[in-house]
């Protein structure tokens, strides 16, 4: 009898965002795959979950996908989590999901936390139609992609590291124009959550002088 893969979103900040269903699934699973077992251990202790864990991240998923799919095929239920949010959204998860689907194994994804949805809705920019870009290319193809996104009529959502935020905002202002409306959303669902909405030019100028901290979502108005 086949088992199943269950993709489990975890809170991006406030642990109260964890759903009762997610807690139950993690307790009942045979194995939890964690992007970082140290990070996930904090979550498991908080909810008194004692399911065994195995490390599963972008550096080893190419070699672990096959054996993990075999375990599911043999009848195990495996739950997959990332450090925060929904696995597969700018986090490991796609490769195992794809392999399970290829083998005809059940794949279930629980609804739950992801950083870009609350950032988009709270930004005050149109959210009826949008494009989620995730992280921009670091080097090769970056300028080309920025030029393409500048012509996008839908709202654009980007993830960024706080260390690269000032540089990225400067490049966005150059590609999109300094007057394009945008929002920088920081630490979504956490104690120090902030959402700053200005033009790209003003945001670039602000973060040139003020170092950002925490997880960053950039939301940019469409053309």
State the maximum Cα–Cα separation within the chain, in Å, rounded to a whole number: 59
Element (H, E) at 183: strand 181-186
Q: What per-residue confidence (pLDDT) applies to 214?
A: 87
Q: Is the pLDDT of residue 91 over 90?
A: no
Q: What is the pLDDT of residues 33-58, one digit of tens each?
A: 999 999 999 999 999 999 999 999 88
Q: What per-residue confidence (pLDDT) applies to 165?
A: 96
Q: What is the pLDDT of residues 51-90, one digit of tens each?
A: 999 999 888 888 999 999 999 999 999 999 999 999 988 8
98 contacts: CB under 8 Å, gap ≥ 6: none
Q: Is the pLDDT of residue 1 over 60?
A: no
* 116-220 carries CATH number 3.30.950.10: yes
- The single residue listed with the structure tokens 């799919």 is 69
Cα 63 from Cα 52, distance rounded (Å): 20
Q: What is the pLDDT of residues 205-219, one digit of tens each?
A: 999 999 888 889 999
The 3-state secondary structure of 99-134, one letter per residue: HHHHCCCCEEECCCCCCHHHHHHHCCCCCCCEEEEE
* Residue ranges covered by each domain of the chain: 4-109, 116-220
Q: Is the pLDDT of residue 2 over 80?
A: no
If pLDDT is split at 50, 70 and 90, which confidence band does 93 have?
confident
Residues 2-29, mean pLDDT to the nearest whole number: 94
Equal fold, 4-109 vs 116-220: no
Q: Is the pLDDT of residue 8 over 60?
A: yes
Q: Is the pLDDT of residue 94 over 60?
A: yes
CA distance to 58, 88, 89, 182, per residue, from 81 (Å): 13, 9, 11, 31
Bigger pLDDT: 71 vs 192: 71
Q: What per-residue confidence (pLDDT) applies to 153?
A: 96
Q: What is the mean pLDDT of the chain?
A: 93
* 4-109 carries CATH number 3.40.1010.10: yes
CA distance to 145, 149, 152, 160, 164, per residue, from 138 (Å): 11, 15, 20, 10, 10
Q: What is the pLDDT of residues 139-187, one digit of tens each?
A: 889 999 999 999 999 999 999 999 999 999 999 999 999 999 999 999 9
């Amino acid at each position: 009898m086949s088992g199943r893969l269950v993709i489990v979103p975890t809170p991006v900040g406030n642990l109260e965002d964890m759903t009762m269903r997610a807690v139950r699934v993690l307790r009942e699973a045979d194995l939890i795959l964690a992007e970082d077992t140290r990070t996930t251990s904090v979550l498991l202790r908080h909810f008194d979950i004692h399911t065994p864990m195995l490390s599963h991240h972008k550096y080893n998923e190419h070699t672990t996908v096959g054996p993990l799919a075999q375990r599911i095929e043999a009848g195990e239920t495996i739950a997959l989590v990332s450090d925060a949010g929904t696995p597969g959204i700018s986090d490991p998860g796609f490769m195992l999901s794809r392999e399970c689907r290829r083998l005809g194994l059940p794949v279930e994804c629980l609804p739950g936390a992801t950083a870009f949805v609350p950032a988009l809705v709270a930004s005050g920019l149109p959210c009826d139609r949008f494009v989620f870009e995730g992280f921009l290319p670091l080097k090769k193809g970056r300028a080309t992609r920025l030029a393409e996104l500048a012509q996008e009529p839908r709202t654009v959502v980007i993830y960024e590291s706080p260390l690269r935020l000032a540089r990225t905002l400067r490049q966005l202002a150059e590609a999109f124009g300094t007057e394009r409306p945008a929002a920088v959303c920081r630490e979504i669902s956490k104690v120090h959550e902030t959402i700053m909405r200005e033009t790209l030019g003003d945001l670039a100028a602000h973060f040139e002088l003020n170092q950002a901290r925490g997880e960053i979502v950039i939301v940019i108005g469409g053309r």
